[in-house]
Amino acid sequence: MRRHVQPRAGSMARTEACLVDCLIALTWFLLLGGVAIGLRELGLEPHWTASSELSADLVTLALGLVPVGIYLVLTETSRRQGSLGKRRVGLRVVRADGTRANAWQLALRTAIKLSPWFLAHLGLSRLWMHLGTEQTACFCLFCVYVIVPVSIGLALVHPQRRALHDWLTGTRVVGD
């Protein structure tokens, strides 16, 4: 029995899908920023200290990245198997063998995919708000500067165009 071979996702299609999804995330972040500015104007600004470092990180994770992660997991576990960006360009996420990816794979894929965003927050918040140490900030930002190019490089050069989060979770992005 001959197996159907799914076309790999091209670099331009993945880039366009990523940009659309980043615009969706940016819209959410701008909304949060607007709320934060409004709270500041009302005098309700939190006063972060080194002792509240963990609470600042948890708030960022809960309000910023968790909703974006939920968006990605829900859309990629849907019948169409792709985020709005992927749907726009005819891409979907599957297992490495071409079968449908399960929810756990997609949740882990999303967590790995969003980890550079969270590490960037950790690094920049420590610099801007003087939370924690400068060494922690530098380490977090160093990790971002390593993870992102490695992931993009894998997606560009590997024949299946699998990014780091795809390799680690046994998934890949294919064309319809």
Whether 4 has a pLDDT exceeding 70, the answer reads no
CB 155 within 8 A of CB 161: yes
Return the amino acid letter for 132.
G
Q: What is the pLDDT of residues 89-121, one digit of tens each?
A: 999 999 999 999 999 999 999 999 999 999 998
pLDDT value of residue 41: 87
Closest CA to 76 of 59, 112, 100, 52: 100
Confidence of residue 8 (pLDDT cuts 50, 70, 90): low
Q: What is the chain's mean pLDDT, rounded?
A: 88
CB 144 within 8 A of CB 116: yes
pLDDT value of residue 56: 75
Long-range contacts of 151-155 (CB under 8 A, 24+ apart): 151/116, 155/11, 155/14
Q: What is the mean pLDDT of residues 14-20?
A: 93
Dist. CA 20–CA 122, nearest whole Å: 25
Q: What is the mean pLDDT of residues 140-153?
A: 95
CA distances from 137 to 61, 122, 160, 169 (A): 17, 7, 34, 28
Q: What is the mean pLDDT of residues 34-38?
A: 87
Tokens 């891409």, located at residue = 91
Contacts of 90 (CB under 8 A, 6+ apart): 13, 175, 176
Q: What is the mean pLDDT of residues 52-56?
A: 74
Return the amino acid letter for 111.
A
Whether 173 has a pLDDT exceeding 90, the answer reads yes
Dist. CA 107–CA 62, nearest whole Å: 15
CA angle 46, 49, 51 (to 5 degrees): 120
**C-beta neighbour count of 8 within 10 angstroms:** 18
Determine what percent of the chain is predicted with pLDDT higher than 90: 59
Dist. CA 75–CA 85, nearest whole Å: 10
